[in-house]
Amino acid sequence: MSGHMGITYRYHRFTLAAVICLFRGHRWLAYDLYLEKCLRCCKEKRVS
């Protein structure tokens, strides 16, 4: 349970960073970061 909460926290913190990138006009950067994070999350879920 605590592990799931940790993943959720990291995900939300990363999402906030991506949103800040969007507001600064770095749409491509935010998209790249978001895509990379999603892929990494999927890999972690597959491993565990």
Please answer whether residues 14 and 2 qualify as being in contact, where contact means their C-beta atoms are separated by less than 8 angstroms.
no
Cα(20)–Cα(4) distance, integer angstroms = 25
pLDDT at 28: 78
pLDDT at 48: 59
DSSP reduced 3-state for 39: helix
pLDDT for 2-45, tens place per residue?
Answer: 555 666 767 777 777 777 767 787 777 777 877 887 777 777 77
Cα(33)–Cα(41) distance, integer angstroms = 12
